[in-house]
Amino acid sequence: MKKILRPLFWPFIYLGMKIIFPKFKNKNYYTMRVLLMGVRQRLVGLNKSVSWPVHNSSIVRSPKKIRPGTKSPGISIACYIDGRNGIEIGENVWIGPRVSIISQNHDLNDYTKYVDCPPIKIGKNSLLTSNCVILPGVELGEHTVVAANSVVNTSFPEGNQLLAGNPAKLIKKLEEYSGK
């Protein structure tokens, strides 16, 4: 049934997404579910100023300082994405449920002040699995997989790697990414 209805509704879904998210260009997210999520986000949701679709249980802070890549960060449930120091996300980066990407940290000697640090950079073709945390100033190379419940507090710019643990460590090297 879905395969029959999708081609019929495709022009309406595409047009609706163009109206709601004019700057977001990824056609992979143009589904009826995401369209309805976008309508709710624009009319009632927390993330009205975000220019890409975000799940209603996710929170995005300072979206103007976030370069979202080709996927929609925050489309999974309960993500927390804090872009106050900037976040640069490459193409084809998959972000799982309950992932936290936090680009700003408190000054350890005065908790009312924040520390400036470089933006978080996540290389293309990466995968951030559920409940992982990416902390300020981290740079992840291309094709980096961060295992569930890992906390990444240092940079791993090499790429083709699997990270896991708290704090995250290099577990093994991966072959070149072969997907699209």
Of residues 33, 106, 169, 173, which has the active-site annotation? Answer: 106
Query: Is position 55 annotated as part of the catalytic site?
Result: no
Domain ranges, ordered by start, for the chain: 2-173
* pLDDT tens per residue across span 92-114: 999 999 999 999 999 999 999 99
Answer with the residue of higher pLDDT: 21 or 177. 177
Q: Residue 156 carries which DSSP code?
A: B
Q: What is the pLDDT of residue 10?
A: 65
Query: So what's the pLDDT on residue 42?
Result: 73
Distance, in Å, from the CA atom of 16 to the CA atom of 163, rounded to the nearest integer, reads: 39
Distances in whole angstroms, Cα of residue 113 to Cα of each of 59, 81, 105, 108, 109: 22, 19, 9, 9, 9
Reference 67, options 45, 48, 83; nearest CA is: 83
Contact status, residue 125 vs residue 92, Cβ threshold 8 Å: yes
Check whether domain 2-173 has CATH 2.160.10.10, yes or no:
yes
What is the per-residue pLDDT for 49?
86
Place of tokens 């993500």: 79
CA distance 165 to 177: 22
Whether the Cβ atoms of residue 87 and residue 66 lie closer than 8 Å to each other: yes
| Structure confidence by residue, pLDDT tens digits, 146-163 | 999 999 999 999 999 999
What counts of helices (H) and strands (E) characterise the chain?
A: 2, 16
How confident is the model over 76-90, as a mean pLDDT?
95
pLDDT band at 71 (very low <50, low <70, confident <90, very high): confident
